[in-house]
Amino acid sequence: MTELEKNIHTKAFKELTEEVSKRIGVDYSTYSKKHLRRRFHARMRVTGQRTFSSYLSYLRDSDEEIEKLKKLLTVNVTKFKRDEEVWDILREDVIPTLIEGKKDDIFKRLKFWSAGCATGEEPYSLAISFLESSMLENFDCNILATDIDKEALSFARRGVYPPKALKNVTEHEKKVYFEKRDGEWAVTDKIKELVEFRHIDILKNDFEKNFDLISCRNLMIYFNTEAKSNLTERLVGSLREGGFLILGMSETLRFPARDKMEKYHLRRRVFRKKKGIDYRV
Shortest Å distance, C-beta 270 to ligand SAM: 14
**219 is a site residue for ligand SAM (CB under 6 A):** yes
User: Which one of 17, 49, 78, 238 is in contact with ligand SAM (CB under 6 A)?
Assistant: 78
Distance of CA 12 to the CA centre of its chain: 30
CB of 122 to ligand SAM, least distance (A): 5
Strand pairing report for 211-216 and 140-147: unpaired
CB of 60 closer than 8 Å to CB of 244? no
- Part of the chain binding ligand SAM (CB under 6 A), chosen from 50-58, 164-172, 194-202, 254-262: 194-202
C-alpha angle 151-155-157 in degrees, rounded to nearest 5 = 115
Q: Which of 44, 148, 239, 270 binds ligand SAM (CB under 6 A)?
A: 148
Does 188 bind ligand SAM (CB under 6 A)? Our answer is no
Residues 6+ apart with CB under 8 A from 277: 260
Residue nearest to ligand SAM (CB): 78
CB of 80 to ligand SAM, least distance (A): 9
Beta bridge partners of 244: 213, 272
Closer CB to ligand SAM, 49 or 119, in the complex: 119
Interface with ligand SAM (CB under 6 A), residue from 37, 82, 111, 260: 82
CA 30/CA 69 separation, integer angstroms: 17
- Give dist(CA 258, CA 245) in Å, integer: 11
153 binds ligand SAM (CB under 6 A): no
**Nearer to ligand SAM by C-beta: 52 or 113?**
113
Site for ligand SAM in 32-71 (CB under 6 A): none
What Å distances lie between residue 256 and 103, 229, 233, 245, 280, CA to CA? Answer: 32, 8, 7, 15, 12
Which of 259, 255, 123 is CA-nearest to residue 194?
123
For ligand SAM, give the closer residue by CB, 139 or 185. 185
- Please select the residue that binds ligand SAM; options are 42, 75, 160, 176, rule is CB under 6 A: 75
152 binds ligand SAM (CB under 6 A): yes
CB of 138 to ligand SAM, least distance (A): 30
Q: Does 257 bind ligand SAM (CB under 6 A)?
A: no
The residues binding ligand SAM (CB under 6 A) are: 74-78, 82, 116, 118, 122, 147-149, 152, 200-203, 217-219, 248
